């Protein structure tokens, strides 16, 4: 870990006020984006936590829906967000499943000079998240990407356990970065879904279409701009829906694939050798007392930098 970077680019107690940040905008604009897929129970509260900032610190607040089949779209709109359907943006590109796909398309649906991403499954979202994430971007020269970090309790029945990152962070992402990109070992939450970045950065790098999007952006930002362009802020506590181990396994496979690709590590070829072909992940489930293989198809698609897409369309 680069201790000097950690000391200069980590804010343990962010103290920027909204008034201070509004002055620091100096003509720049801010978009807040919430990717959403079947998050009707939580998306309204996340939108409501940001709404008081709109027309001051935040210039647009957009929920990008990834094909929800519940009331996510209605709840988000009634809470005050502008809702965009993924298939209505970049219509020349057929949608593929994944969080990164929605974030990539959100760039074409928004105009802010800086973009803040918030997950829409947050429980008890803190209105201070957005100001804290914008602080280094607006006030510190040279910062292009700001990651949020937090205490992230694992909820088991009525107990909350743990104070570190998520399970995939601690068991996969942190060891991977230590081995392949040790300069990034100082990131507390490399996979966290709460972060902010300049449009200049976001439009200049590819987006992993699935759950590899966060670590892909982190690796590409450091490679393109250097470690000093990264910063992190303490957001306190983040609570969200906890996923099953089988779901986390698929997530981990996507994160692993994106990391190895960005770090130039060759992997064994899949059955289909075309670029972006899905990988397979074999997991095991118990059925009537027997352990049986369950083979998941794991997309490893990358979307090109939006700047390249825009250039081809003009």
In a domain, 256, yes or no: no
Closest CA to 132 of 242, 41, 53: 53
Number of neighbouring beta carbons within 10 Å of residue 286: 8
In this prediction the pTM is: 0.90
Nearest residue to 28 via CA among 139, 137, 114, 140: 114
- The tally of CA atoms less than 13 A away on the side-chain side of residue 69 is 0
> Which domain range does residue 233 map to?
3-242
Question: In whole angstroms, what is the distance from residue 61 CA to residue 17 CA?
Answer: 20
Tens-digit pLDDT string for the chain (314 aa): 789 999 999 999 999 999 999 999 999 999 999 999 999 999 999 999 999 999 999 999 999 999 999 999 999 999 999 999 999 999 999 999 899 999 999 999 999 999 999 999 999 999 999 999 999 999 999 999 999 999 866 553 344 445 555 889 999 999 999 999 999 999 999 999 999 999 999 999 999 999 999 999 999 999 999 999 999 999 998 775 666 778 888 889 999 999 999 999 987 665 544 555 678 888 888 899 899 888 888 888 899 999 998 766 54
Domain of 181, CATH number, reads 3.90.550.10
Q: Given this model, what pLDDT does residue 108 score?
A: 97
- Structural domain count of the chain: 1
Q: Is residue 177 part of a domain?
A: yes
CB 129 within 8 A of CB 34: no
Strand partners, 80: none
The pLDDT score that the predictor gives to residue 250 is 87
Q: Is residue 305 part of a domain?
A: no
Residue 273 pLDDT: 47
Report DSSP letters for 216-233, one per residue: HHHHHHHHHH-GGGEEEE
With respect to residue 105, please indicate whether it lies within any of the assigned structural domains. Answer: yes
What CA–CA distances, in Å, run from 149 to 20, 61, 166, 178, 235?
A: 22, 22, 11, 18, 6
Q: Residue 142: inside a domain, yes or no?
A: yes
Q: What is the pLDDT of residue 272?
A: 46
Give the integer Cα–Cα distance in Å for 75 and 81. 9
266 in a structural domain? no
- Structural domain contains residue 37: yes
126 located within any domain: yes
The pLDDT of residue 157 is 36
DSSP character at residue 255:
H
């Amino acid at each position: 870990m680069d201790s000097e970077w950690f000391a200069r680019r980590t804010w343990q107690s962010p103290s920027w006020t909204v008034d201070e940040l509004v002055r620091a905008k100096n003509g720049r604009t801010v978009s807040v984006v919430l990717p959403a897929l079947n998050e009707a129970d939580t998306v309204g509260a996340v939108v409501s936590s940001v709404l008081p900032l709109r027309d001051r610190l935040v210039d647009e607040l957009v929920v990008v829906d990834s094909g929800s089949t519940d009331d996510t779209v209605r709840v988000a709109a009634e809470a005050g967000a502008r809702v965009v359907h993924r298939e209505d943006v970049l219509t020349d590109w057929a949608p593929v499943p994944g969080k990164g796909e929605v974030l990539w398309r959100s760039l074409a649906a928004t105009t802010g000079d800086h973009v803040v991403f918030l997950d829409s499954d947050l429980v008890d979202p803190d209105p201070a998240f957005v100001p804290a994430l914008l602080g280094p971007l607006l006030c510190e020269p040279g910062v292009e990407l700001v990651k949020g970090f937090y205490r992230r309790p694992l909820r088991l029945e009525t107990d909350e356990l743990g104070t570190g990152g998520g399970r995939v962070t601690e068991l996969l992402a942190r060891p991977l970065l230590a081995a392949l990109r040790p300069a990034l070992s100082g990131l507390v939450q490399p996979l966290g879904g709460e972060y902010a970045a300049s449009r200049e950065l976001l439009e200049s790098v590819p987006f992993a279409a699935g759950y590899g999007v966060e670590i892909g952006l982190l690796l590409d930002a450091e490679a393109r701009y250097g470690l000093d362009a990264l910063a992190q802020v303490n957001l306190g506590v983040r609570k969200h829906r906890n996923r099953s181990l089988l779901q986390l396994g698929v997530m981990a496979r996507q994160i692993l694939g994106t990391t190895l690709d960005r770090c130039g590590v060759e992997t064994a070829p899949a059955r289909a050798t075309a670029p972006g072909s899905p990988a397979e992940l074999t997991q095991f489930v118990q059925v009537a007392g027997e352990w049986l293989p369950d083979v998941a198809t794991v997309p490893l698609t990358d979307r090109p930098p939006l700047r390249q897409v825009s250039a081809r369309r003009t």
